[in-house]
């Protein structure tokens, strides 16, 4: 097969006709040949100067010189042009001289195939010349690439063992960039084994490179050279059999950066997943690119469903479009924004959240970090606080409370209009200072008020409370219930701000005064009645004893019973009169103690007491015992001498006393607490009335119902139970 493309040939012969004949036959023998003739050397030189030729063919005998001399005249000007000598004498001297001169090829004339041989020789020398030229050009380009390449390049040859097996590679040549890339001098590596220079004793490296040499297929991989402490990216190919070229790039810093980036990413992911709040990373226009597990859990979506979703979509996980768009714009301009909105879960439930969004760089890309904190509890507290505020305002309005707000550090006080109106003043007439309060408090009450304030400041009381008198604008004195609490303290623990209320309790104080006066009169009356009744009863009882000495009559027994009943009536009346006053002195009492003590003070015969509670209450222990005594006496009188009485807890604010007797009919349960009402023949009718008065004096309630066994059960409620 001939060379690609036409071959331009110049044939020089002093016989023009023969020259034309040679050209014709050559073109017949080889289609790629394009032959031009020249009759002499001068025309040949002119043609060589004007045209690019691939081969020059010359006859030996020319008009002014021979063909060898002609070659010598053009050799320096056209050193790479193939020259074929075509001569017709079998002269070995001509052939030898042609070879010594450097003529490319020579062909003897004669024979039937002389033109075929000449055409073949022309094609061969041109093909070789073109191949050589291409190789030289390739080598030139390669040399330029080798020296000027910005990556390190190394040539290796395969080293085999005695059995022909590959054992290593020897470094043949390196470029300048190789030296700077790996920090090695050319003189220290050329001629040495690769395993010695690179420390690549692992068979994987050798196997890879041998495969490149054997198959001719190039590869790219990364490795670490321990002696150099470098990470290198290698592209390897085989230019010729048994040789390996490696192109190296130092990627050590890149690997370190990747390691730092991976460490940073892992740290970021750990922090990101560690957030207890729903956290999103999204693009500037709202498209979500990362979420944490909390966000998926709270919203009910898996991560795959959330990634790629836009926060601008109301039916996904965002606020209404317009509002969120404005907020994203604020983040882009200011870098941060905090707002409240509602996130819709997969089930359609709305979660109120506070979103804090900041502009960040997310692995080299501008993004927004949004942390959504669930504020459901806060919203509920705000709702409750709003409700309480509304109720408080209604209570203040209904209770006619005056409000004061005291800056304890400066003594500045903000008073409400109602505070001033209580004292007959307008708000403008009251100086906004603590002196406005202090100078109006009654001198006798002021020390107690200050003591109560100091006790609160020292933490001895949860709040300040004091009843004191204050002078009105008209000069009268009214009673004020003053209640307040410190709501702000400084770092030293001193009060800064205190808020409280005033309530006019003048009428209440007057009623209490009148009630105390009535109670004293009642007690005096009861004492007089008790004394006046007991004296004749005692005389009558003594007379009965004297009469027994004179006679033995059943009438005396009836008289004695009547006198005993009268004595019980007097005791109950006196107790009833004394129990009506509300308790003023309370103490912490464990229920079992007064219950058991009361049981021992009652004639109980074969009755049984079971105390099934250890509840502790605030009460007057003596009167609480009287309550138990009357309930126990009632159970024995109406349930029988073998009745079982149980004392147990009633919810969280009371206790009960129950028996297994006959019980009380529903239509009689209201009447049993009336004074004098009794269904027992020897009952006074005051026992349960006394129970009700003692309960009322404590601020308790008392109700009667059926016990589990069908007997009577008395339930005492609204009791101040101590936890």
Average pLDDT, the chain: 82
Do 7-142 and 258-379 come out as alike in CATH topology? no
Torsion angle of alpha carbons 74, 79, 83, 89, nearest 10°? 60
- Where does the pLDDT of residue 316 fall: very low under 50, low under 70, confident under 90, or very high at 90 and above? very low
Task: Determine the Cα–Cα distance for residues 445 and 45; give it in Å rounded to an integer.
Answer: 142
Rounded to an integer, the average pLDDT of 435-453 is 95
Rounded to an integer, the average pLDDT of 657-680 is 78
pLDDT at 202 over 60: no
Query: What is the assigned CATH class of domain 7-142?
Result: alpha beta
Rounded to an integer, the average pLDDT of 552-560 is 74
pLDDT at 280 over 70: yes
pLDDT at 259 over 60: yes
Rounded to an integer, the average pLDDT of 513-533 is 67
Task: Determine the Cα–Cα distance for residues 2 and 123; give it in Å rounded to an integer.
Answer: 6
Question: Which whole-number Å values give the CA distances from 447 to 386, 441, 452, 463, 481, in the listed order?
Answer: 37, 10, 9, 17, 15
Give tens-digit pLDDT for 45-81.
999 989 889 999 998 888 888 888 888 888 888 888 9
pLDDT score, position 274 = 63
pLDDT score, position 682 = 54
Decide which of 687 and 472 is more confident.
472
Give tens-digit pLDDT for 473-506.
999 999 999 999 998 999 899 999 999 899 899 9
403 forms bridges with which residues in the sheet?
501
For residue 208, what are the contacts with CB-CB under 8 A and spacing of at least 6? Answer: 219, 221, 236
- Where does the pLDDT of residue 529 fall: very low under 50, low under 70, confident under 90, or very high at 90 and above? low
pLDDT score, position 430 = 94
Whether the CB-CB separation of 141 and 233 falls below 8 Å is answered with no
pLDDT at 349 over 80: yes
- Where does the pLDDT of residue 1 fall: very low under 50, low under 70, confident under 90, or very high at 90 and above? very low
DSSP 78: S
pLDDT at 637 over 50: yes
Query: What is the assigned CATH class of domain 149-250?
Result: alpha beta
Strand 7-12 with 33-38, pairing: parallel
pLDDT at 652 over 90: no
pLDDT score, position 140 = 65
Give the CA count within 13 Å in the CB-facing half-sphere of 11.
27
Task: Determine the Cα–Cα distance for residues 445 and 414; give it in Å rounded to an integer.
Answer: 23
Query: What is the assigned CATH class of domain 584-722?
Result: alpha beta
Q: Hey, where are the domains in the chain?
A: 7-142, 149-250, 258-379, 400-504, 510-567, 584-722
Query: What is the assigned CATH class of domain 400-504?
Result: alpha beta
Give tens-digit pLDDT for 373-432.
888 888 888 888 777 666 666 656 655 788 899 999 999 999 988 899 999 999 999 999
For residue 374, what are the contacts with CB-CB under 8 A and spacing of at least 6? Answer: 277, 278, 298, 351, 352, 353
Give tens-digit pLDDT for 559-618.
776 666 566 656 655 665 555 544 556 889 999 999 999 898 888 889 999 999 999 999
pLDDT at 98 over 90: no
Q: For domain 258-379, say whether CATH 3.30.450.20 is its number.
A: yes
Rounded to an integer, the average pLDDT of 115-125 is 89
Reference 9, options 74, 52, 55, 41; nearest CA is 55
Question: Which whole-number Å values give the CA distances from 441 to 197, 206, 387, 447, in the listed order?
Answer: 101, 104, 34, 10
Q: pTM for this one?
A: 0.33
């Amino acid at each position: 097969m001939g060379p690609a493309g036409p071959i331009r040939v110049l044939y020089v012969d002093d016989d023009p006709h023969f020259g034309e004949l040679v050209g014709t036959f050559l073109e017949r023998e080889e289609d790629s040949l394009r032959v031009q003739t020249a009759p002499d050397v001068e025309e040949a030189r002119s043609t060589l100067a004007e045209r690019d030729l691939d081969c020059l063919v010359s006859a030996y005998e020319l008009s002014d010189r021979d063909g060898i001399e002609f070659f010598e005249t053009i050799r320096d000007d056209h050193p790479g042009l193939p020259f074929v000598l075509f001569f017709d004498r079998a002269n070995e001297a001509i052939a030898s001289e042609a070879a010594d001169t450097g003529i490319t090829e020579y062909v003897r004339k004669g024979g039937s195939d002389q033109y075929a041989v000449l055409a073949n020789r022309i094609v061969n020398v041109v093909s070789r010349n073109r191949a050589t030229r291409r190789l030289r050009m390739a080598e030139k380009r390669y040399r330029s690439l080798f020296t000027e390449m910005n990556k390190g390049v190394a040539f290796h040859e395969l080293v085999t063992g005695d059995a022909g097996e590959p054992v290593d590679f020897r470094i043949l040549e390196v470029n300048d960039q190789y030296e700077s890339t790996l920090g090695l001098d050319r003189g220290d590596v050329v001629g040495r084994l690769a395993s010695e220079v690179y420390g690549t004793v692992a068979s994987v490296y050798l196997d890879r490179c041998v495969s490149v040499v054997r198959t001719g297929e190039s590869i790219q991989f990364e490795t670490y050279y321990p002696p150099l402490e470098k990470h290198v990216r290698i592209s390897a190919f085989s230019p010729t059999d048994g040789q390996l070229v490696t192109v190296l790039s130092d990627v050590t810093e890149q690997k370190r950066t990747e390691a730092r980036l991976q460490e940073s990413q892992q740290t970021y992911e750990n922090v990101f997943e560690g957030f207890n709040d729903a956290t999103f990373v999204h693009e500037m226009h709202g498209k979500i690119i990362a979420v944490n597990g909390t966000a998926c859990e709270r919203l009910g979506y898996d991560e795959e469903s959330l990634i790629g979703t836009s926060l601008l979509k109301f039916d996904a996980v965002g606020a209404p479009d317009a509002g969120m768009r404005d907020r994203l714009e604020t983040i882009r301009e200011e870098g941060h924004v905090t707002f409240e909105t509602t996130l819709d879960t997969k089930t359609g439930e709305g979660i109120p959240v506070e979103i804090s969004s900041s502009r960040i760089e997310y692995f080299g890309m501008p993004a927004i970090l949004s942390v959504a904190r669930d504020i459901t509890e806060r919203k509920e507290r705000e709702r409750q606080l709003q409700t309480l505020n509304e109720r408080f305002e209604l209570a203040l309005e209904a209770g006619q409370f005056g409000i004061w707000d005291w800056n304890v550090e400066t003594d500045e006080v903000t008073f409400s209009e109602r505070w001033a109106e209580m004292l007959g003043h307008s708000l403008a007439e009251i100086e906004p200072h603590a002196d406005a309060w202090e100078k109006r408090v009654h001198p006798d009450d002021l020390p107690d008020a200050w003591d109560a304030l100091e006790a609160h400041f020292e933490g001895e009381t949860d709040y300040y409370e004091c009843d004191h008198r204050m002078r009105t604008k008209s000069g009268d004195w009214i009673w004020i219930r003053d209640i307040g609490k410190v709501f702000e303290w400084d770092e030293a623990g001193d009060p800064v701000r205190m808020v409280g209320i005033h309530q006019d309790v003048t009428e209440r104080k007057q009623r209490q005064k009148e009630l105390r006066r009535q109670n004293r009169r009642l007690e005096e009356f009861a004492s007089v009645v008790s004394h006046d009744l007991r004296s004749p009863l005692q005389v009558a009882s003594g007379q009965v004893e004297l009469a027994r000495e004179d006679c033995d009559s059943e009438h005396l027994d009836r008289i004695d019973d009547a006198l005993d009943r009268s004595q019980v009536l007097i005791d109950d009346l006196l107790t009833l009169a004394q129990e009506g006053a509300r308790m003023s002195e309370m103490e912490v009492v464990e229920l079992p103690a007064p219950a058991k003590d009361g049981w021992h003070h009652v004639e109980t015969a074969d009755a049984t007491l079971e105390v099934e509670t250890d509840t502790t209450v605030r009460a007057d222990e003596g009167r609480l015992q009287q309550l138990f005594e009357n309930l126990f006496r009632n159970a024995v009188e109406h349930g029988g001498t073998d009745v079982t009485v149980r004392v147990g807890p009633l919810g969280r604010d009371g206790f009960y006393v129950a028996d297994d007797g006959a019980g009380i009919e529903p239509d009689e349960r209201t009447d049993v607490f009336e004074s004098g009402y009794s269904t027992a023949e020897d009952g006074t009718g005051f026992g349960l009335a006394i129970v009700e008065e003692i309960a009322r004096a404590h601020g308790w309630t008392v109700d009667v119902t059926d016990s589990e066994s069908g007997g009577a059960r008395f339930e005492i409620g609204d009791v101040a139970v101590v936890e």
